[in-house]
Amino acid sequence: MIRLLVTLNVMLIIVAVLYTFAVNTTLNTILRAPIEENYQQRGRGSMQLLNESVAGLDDRERQKKLVELQKQFVYPLNLRRLSTFGFNKYERERLLQGLIVWRDIEDADHVYAKLADNDEWVWEFALDLPKVLDEANTSAGTFYLLQQQLVGKPEQEWQAIIAKRQPQFGFPVILHKPGAVTLSETEQQQLDSGEILVIIHDEYTETHYQRVGDSEYVLQLGTFETPAIGRNINLIVFGVFVLTILLASFFWLLPMWRNLMQIKVAAEAFGDGEYDTRVPHHKRSRLAVVTQAFNAMAERTQHSIRAQKELTGAVSHELRTPVARMRFSLDMLAATDNDEDRQRYISNMNQDIDELNDLLEEMLTYARLDQSADPITMSNTLLTSWFSSVMGSLERLADKKNLIWRQEGITEHERTMMSSVMMNRVVNNLVQNALRFAENRVEVVLSKDGNDYLLRVDDDGPGIPEAERGRLFEAFAIQDDSRNKALSGFGLGLAIVKRIIEGHHGQVSIETAELGGAQFLVRWRVNNEMITRSNSNSHGE
């Protein structure tokens, strides 16, 4: 869950970064062509007039003229060398073709155009277009350049001069005769004061007017129309934002979707009986916990199914012998009139029934331990008292064999969390197994090894071949050279021991004892932390 939240937060950060990048970079790339085309249409006439105003001037005269022009252009106007701008290949090619280049620098539009008669010099305008005042300021330089064409010329020639200049502009340039433009009183006052008048017709169209010097003539630029892409800029920005989220979500969800498909395929295969199916597990996957849980479930289910099959086969085998003996005894009992024989057959049947009962008890214990996820209930146990009690009850079973037991490194008041009932079963099974196979001596030692308890059961019997040691912990596993049924048992005792010790997060193994026979080593973790919590809870109560 935490990993999923962290991943989601990372995705949101990535979305924010991608959106910022998209708006500042990708969006500029998308808008660049229409913006440059718009500036090309609106600025080519002004550029033509600028180039003419400095044509044929040397560097000193050109600089003097630039100062004059800068006073008329409200926005910064510069003439700088091409090499100072760091233009890329695309921008250099446009400039050399006589086209306008646009850049967005700190939320201001910068427009560039090459000086007509010199490839080393570039005009630069720093513009900002959102406000009406900015629109008026943008056209101030154009009005100045056009009026310069009319100054000193007879008024009757002005129309011809403007008409000649009109094709150089990408928008209408009109010279109105006195009284030809109908304006409100406020607009007329603004025009008479020499200011640039901007009339906005609607959200996307506007027209600029300025009086020509002290005359009654009015110069008109436009009407200007906002490019279609500019009208839909908000929709474009929103679309980029949505697209960014969709892309980020897609790349975030794609690995998860693949993992879900893998789990789906594995679940279907498992349902069809392919119990060895597992989902590929990757620690960095967002569904790592799910795949791990699925694989663990599949492992447990496969193990249970295998164990059920083995148990069914083994049970049928184990039941066949005593049932056959009972049927034989019943047949013989029906066929004889001798009281002594009848009692012998009845006794034999009772022994077979006891054997069946013992088998069923062992099977129920094994099934309970094997099938339940958490069958063992732990309790606070005084270790020395428990060990003395269980070994004391086993001493009477030693018969003529020498059973020696002791504790090493265990303090008198040492406690641990364990199931004393289940651990009794472990000690009983191991000691009785040792007594069955021992010649004369069995030695049992409970000790402490670091953070583990260690139970060691040694005998001086024939021992267990190394190749068979791992197999003996499986259900119904009996040594191939087992002497007889009385010695070998049903083959469930060691399997039960293994399940109990695994429930205590420990392990059991078989080694060769110093006495010459088999050595069973049981190791489980010291669990004092649970004792501390148990004590603190009892104090709190």
In this prediction, residue 541 carries a pLDDT of: 40
Which carries the bigger pLDDT value, residue 384 or residue 20?
A: 384
In this prediction, residue 318 carries a pLDDT of: 63
Mean pLDDT for the stretch of residues 264-290: 84
Q: Are 471 and 477 in contact (CB under 8 A)?
A: yes
Could you give the residue ranges of the DSSP H alpha helices within 410-527? 420-437, 485-488, 493-503
pLDDT at 122 over 80: yes
Mean pLDDT for the stretch of residues 492-499: 79
- Show contacts of 405-410: CB within 8 Å, 24+ apart: 405/443, 405/444, 405/445, 405/446, 406/444, 406/445, 406/446, 407/445, 407/446, 407/447, 408/445, 408/446, 408/447, 408/448, 409/447, 409/448, 410/383, 410/384, 410/446, 410/447, 410/448
In this prediction, residue 40 carries a pLDDT of: 85
User: Quick one: DSSP state of residue 483?
Assistant: -
Mean pLDDT for the stretch of residues 342-364: 80
Q: What is the rounded CA–CA span in Å between residue 314 and residue 474?
A: 11
Q: At a CB cut-off of 8 Å and minimum separation 6, what does 351 contact? A: none
| Strands in 43-183 per DSSP E | 77-81, 101-105, 108-114, 121-127, 173-176
Q: Are 333 and 342 in contact (CB under 8 A)?
A: yes
pLDDT in tens, 192-206: 888 889 888 887 788
CATH of 379-540, one of 2.60.40.420, 2.30.110.10, 3.30.565.10, 3.40.50.1820: 3.30.565.10
Domain parsing of the chain, residue ranges? 1-128, 157-231, 235-375, 379-540
Q: Environment class of residue 294 by beta-carbon count within 10 Å: exposed (0-12), middle (13-18) or buried (19+)?
A: buried
Backbone angles phi, psi at 121, to 5 degrees: -120, 145
In this prediction, residue 314 carries a pLDDT of: 62
Mean pLDDT for the stretch of residues 331-351: 87
Report percent pLDDT > 70 for the chain.
80
Give the pLDDT band of residue 76 (cuts 50, 70, 90): confident
Q: Spell out a b/e string for 365-400, using b for 16 or more CB atoms within 10 Å of the CB, else e.
A: bbeebbeeeeebebeebebeebbeebbeebeeebee
Q: What is the rounded CA–CA span in Å between residue 143 and residue 213?
A: 11
Average pLDDT, the chain: 81
Backbone angles phi, psi at 86, to 5 degrees: 65, 45
Q: Are 491 and 478 in contact (CB under 8 A)?
A: yes
Architecture of the domain delimited by 1-128: 2-Layer Sandwich (3.30)
Q: What is the rounded CA–CA span in Å between residue 248 and residue 94?
A: 35
Do the strands 101-105 and 108-114 form a parallel or antiparallel pair, or are they unpaired?
antiparallel
pLDDT in tens, 401-427: 899 999 998 888 889 888 888 888 888
In this prediction, residue 211 carries a pLDDT of: 93
User: Quick one: DSSP state of residue 209?
Assistant: E
Q: Quick one: three-class SS letters along 22-36?
A: HHHHHHHHHHHHHHH
